[in-house]
Structure 1
Amino acid sequence: MTTRRDFLKTGAAAAGGIVFCSCGLPRGARAQPARQTLPVMVGGKRVKSIDVHCHCHFHEAGALLGADAARLQLPPVNGAEEAFIAIDKRLAVMDSQAIDMEVLSINPFWYDRDRDLAGQIVKLQNEKLAELCASKPDRFAAFASLTLQAPDLAVEELETAVKKQGLKGAAIGDSVHGVEFSDPKFHPVWAKAEELAVPLFIHPQGMPELSKRLAGNGWLANTIGNPLGTTIALSHLIFEGTFDRFPGLKVIAAHGGGYLASYADRSDHACLVGPKGCNPDIKLKKAPTEYLKQIYFDSLIFTPEAIRHLVAQVGASQVVIGSDYPYPWEMHPVDPILATTTLSDDEKADIIGRTAAKLFNVSA
């Protein structure tokens, strides 16, 4: 008898028209175009494809965590072990995904550690990231880690990472112990990022305060909790005036920015409908939806229709490719962009790599 594992291993699931997710729910396979391969061509021109949302870990950081290493470095996702990069294997996967360059990041797991330990973890990771990128500068770039629970230390780490280690910005969570990024304590970090003209990649950490409601089938802590975390983080940065204070701040939001772009116009009505729910001392310089046009969003929203809507809301110039590799959310991130018929060739080329190349100051 063919087991489910045998069925998946043979690839029959992809070819046979139906697969089964781990929730036990049937999912009809979408008709797939021919997979894009390298080199990526758009309108007859070569485009360097850049994935801004892909992860890695280092065993050396795990050694500093002790017994917590496995829990914090290996989430319950197929392929999690691939986060510990074997370069030849990672390059082979990138080739199969039609990705020329990955911009690596490490999801923050050290915000609840004391300053000294967190600083050790961040220092080690940034050194390892710099070493990895230097070994294959045409294929890898990276976001620095930051000890955000100690903003003064984070400022130093960011400057060192950018000026001395060649890293391209920093990856941050969506809050620090529930303290929103709009809190003035983080202003020095945003000021330094603005000064260095490097982007900050916001990647959510779930919503532990909603753990009871998100329990049960469907991995809702990630499915719903992660996009919600990003939505809240971005909304605070908008409504508390942080983007007004730091107009040159470059932010990239994971997973298409959560739910914000899908329901953005509600934000423009909130303070008009319920002024008592808004602070009269905070006077934004423009409508809340206008701030979306200065935020960058990754394309990890799966379908051409979702990408069409995101572009309609924020503009093609604000969208960049994201896959979440090695976690298998989107194993062919270029394909949905090429399949979005509402995009021009120039817009497709921008999303696939030209916008990211400008953000990270690399060759396009």
Structure 2
Amino acid sequence: MIIDAHAHFLPKDYPADAPECFPHMEPIEDSTNRLLVFGATRFPAKEVFFEAERRIEAMDASGVDAEVISPMPPLLKYDLPAADGLSLARHVNDFTAELTSHAPERMFGLGMVPMQDPDAATAELAAIKAAGLDGVEIASNILGSSIGDEKFLPFFQEVERLGLSVFVHAMPSPMDRLPMSAMGTYVVGIEGMFAAASMILGGTAAACPDLRISFSHAAGGLAMMLPRANYFWGGSWNEEPKDPSRAVMPDDGPSPLEYARRFYYDSMVFDRRTIRYLIDLLGADRLLVGSDFPAMLREEPTAKTLMSMDLPHDEWEDISWRNAMRWLGRESAS
């Protein structure tokens, strides 16, 4: 069984009387596809983004048993006025519930909230829960603020209280110092690392021990930074026993690695050597299958790289589907 824990959708349409700042879908001549127009974004969307029947056909063709579907990241546009952001989120969430209702055993839906207004975002979580969605997708930064900033702590506490899940998708920051050509490559790695690190350093991971949170693309460069962070915390190499006399920033709490092992990470890192490192450092019980489909093409067959690694049966079962169900809080499958 394979669950793709990183797949996206787009609503087919938006209200005719929506604010001017809303996205809209334009027809494409001689095609069933549509063009998403949202600010500077112009994105041609195939039917599989918004038609349930096409979605199921694509899963069957790729050997995918189920998907966790989340909004296409450009919809996480936090520079909208807060009221408009809330209206957009509600429209997207209604569409998510409708799309997943066509095959609830094969599509698990994540909604979105207006993180530019933390209070409104927190209040909207109850409606997401009531709609039967499994959680929310948020961007890796909110208008340049780290998600581990204390102003977002009540949001994560409410997510935890309601038993929802969070998917953090790497997105550019207003403070990016790299050229636009790096937006889909290096920026993803940097932003994922910043987001996950901020959850540890900002205290959210400590305050929300039962929070189920996943990071796109294995949180970028986080795994390479964790051994150094662990040394600063405990003064030892190779995760050997603490040596406080060598620690740069001694701390009696859990180590950075212990916190990081509470998170989930999709394994779309394009290289089996990287996946092996992630398994060795973080554990096979932390990784998920992810594809970014249909924004990106899946491997053929899906999870081909993982299949090529001759993983022990239990590790394959964890990564291919059980971890996704645990992250979603649907079952603790054994």
Q: Structure 1 length normalisation: TM-score?
A: 0.76
Structure-to-structure mapping, 1:204-223, within 5 angstroms: 204-210=170-176, 213-215=178-180, 219-223=181-185
Deviation at 1:170, TM superposition (A): 0.7
Name 1:10's counterpart in structure 2. Answer: none
The separation in 1 between residues aligned to 2:21 and 2:277, in whole angstroms, is 44
Flag structure 1 segments of 5+ consecutive residues without an equivalent.
Answer: 1-46, 274-278
Matched residue, 1:84: 49
Alignment check: 8 A CA contact 2:150 2:202 kept: no
Are the equivalent residues in 1 in contact too, given 2:22–2:88 (CA < 8 A)? no
Distance 2:59 2:296 in 1: 13
- What letter is aligned with 2:96? L
Compared with structure 1, are the counterparts of its residues 338 and 324 closer, same or farther at alpha carbon in structure 2 (3 Å cutoff)? same
Q: Helix, strand or coil: the match of 2:104?
A: coil
The equivalent of 1:190 in structure 2 is: 156
CA offset at residue 100 of structure 1? 1.0
- The residue type paired with residue 241 of structure 1 is G
Q: Verify: 1:320 aligned to 2:288, yes or no.
A: yes
1:60 to partner: Cα distance: 3.0
Equivalent pairs, count = 305
CA distance in 1, matches of 2:58, 2:40: 19
Q: 1:116 to 1:207 in 2, by over 3 A?
A: closer
Partner of 2:131: 165
Matches within 5 A, 1:127-142: 127-142=94-109
The superposition leaves residues 8-39 of structure 1 with CA deviations (integer Å, 9 ceiling, x where unpaired) of: xxxxxxxxxxxxxxxxxxxxxxxxxxxxxxxx
Partner of 2:120: 153
Match of 1:207, SS state, is coil
1:202 counterpart SS class: strand
| Correspondence for 1:177 | 143
**Matching residue's letter, 1:340:** M
The residue type paired with residue 112 of structure 1 is D
Amino acid at match of 2:98: E
Pairing 1:302-321 to 2, within 5 Å after superposition: 302-321=270-289
Is the CA contact (8 Å cut-off) linking 1:325 and 1:331 kept in structure 2?
no
Deviation at 1:248, TM superposition (A): 1.1
Residue 355 of structure 1 aligns to a residue in which SS?
A: helix
TM superposition score normalised by structure 2: 0.83
Is 1:230 matched with 2:183?
A: no
Q: 1:67 offset after TM fit, Å?
A: 7.0
Report if the CA contact (8 A) 1:307-1:340 is conserved: no
Q: 1:118 to 1:353 in 2, by over 3 A?
A: same
Q: 2-side partners of 1:271 and 1:178: how far apart?
A: 27
C-alpha deviation, 1:267, in angstroms = 1.8
Aligned residue for 2:13? 60
Which of the numbers 204, 208, 213 marks the counterpart of 1:246?
208
Which letter does structure 2 place at the counterpart of 1:337? L
String of CA shifts for 1:297-322, please: whole Å, max 9, x gaps: 00111232221111111100011111
Q: Displacement of 1:62 after TM fit? A: 7.9
**Residue of structure 1 in register with 2:59 after alignment:** 94
Deviations 1:244-298 (A, max 9, x none): 111111110001111111332122234689xxxxx98x95612212211101000
| Whole-angstrom distance in 2 between the partners of 1:234 and 1:144 | 20
Q: Percent identity?
A: 26
CA positional deviation for 1:190: 0.5
Does the 8 A contact of 1:144 with 1:171 survive in 2? yes
Unaligned runs of 5+ residues in structure 2 are 24-35, 236-247
Q: Name whichever structure is richer in strand by fraction.
A: 2
Rounded to whole Å, the distance in 1 between the matches of 2:234 and 2:252 is 13
Q: 1:265 to 1:57 in 2, by over 3 A?
A: same
Distance 1:240 1:248 in 2: 16
Q: Looking at secondary structure, tell me which structure has more helix per residue.
A: 1
Q: CA RMSD in A?
A: 2.7
